[in-house]
Amino acid sequence: MEIDWELTGRIVWCICVVAWGVIRFRPNMKARKIRIAVAKRPPIERFSMFVSQLGLGIIPAIWVFTGVPSAFDRQAGPISVILGALLFGFSLYLFRRTHKALGKMWSHSLDLREGHKLVTKGIYEKVRHPMYSAFWLWAVSMPFLLANWVAGLAGVVGFGTLYFLRVGQEERMMEDQFGEQYRDYVKRTKRIIPGIY
């Protein structure tokens, strides 16, 4: 039997995106019950969150379900699809661990909740932004999984925009709130890749 690798890539992508939603569902419900004490949401946050959703979800979904823009289709093969599935799979594992460690401190934007505590344990011992590592892995898995250049690269551009516009602001917010405790944490951890960056 001949395997359709292009279709396989599309299906794997869909399953992983649904799994992502399932992992986020309960932590989202729980965190939403805790009031937000500080919301540091500059206007650029809305823009970058939209661009990120567009790149990680909407543009690839359009290609997955309609084949648009077909002019940018490329050949699909087993190695790239398997590699993409492994990357997205690892991303989901990491994503689950970040929600476990952050618990009610999680927020989809730049917020501090009532009684916010700095989390430095679990996966947060390894890097300061493991959830963003997970999003990067999602983005990087897409050029491997999706046999279309536009759909494949949209995630890197979309999430990259959010990441670079946000990470500095987030660290400033955390430093304002936690002072020395956060500065110590910064000294002993990297941002998204242990020991490297």
Interaction site with ligand SAH (CB under 6 A): 98, 102, 105-107, 110-112, 118-119, 124, 129-132, 170, 174
As measured in angstroms, the least distance from the Cβ of 127 to ligand SAH is 8
Distance CA 100, CA 43 (A): 29
As measured in angstroms, the least distance from the Cβ of 61 to ligand SAH is 23
As measured in angstroms, the least distance from the Cβ of 149 to ligand SAH is 28
| CB 85 within 8 Å of CB 99 | no
Strand partners, 73: 148
When the beta carbons of 41 and 57 are compared against ligand SAH, the nearer one is 41
Distance CA 15, CA 92 (A): 11
As measured in angstroms, the least distance from the Cβ of 20 to ligand SAH is 14
| CB 139 within 8 Å of CB 91 | no
| CB 186 within 8 Å of CB 86 | no
DSSP H helical ranges for the chain: 5-32, 43-53, 59-66, 78-102, 130-145, 149-178, 180-188
When the beta carbons of 73 and 171 are compared against ligand SAH, the nearer one is 171
As measured in angstroms, the least distance from the Cβ of 114 to ligand SAH is 12
Structure-token pair, residue 13:
């992508």
134 phi and psi angles, rounded to 5 deg: -65, -40
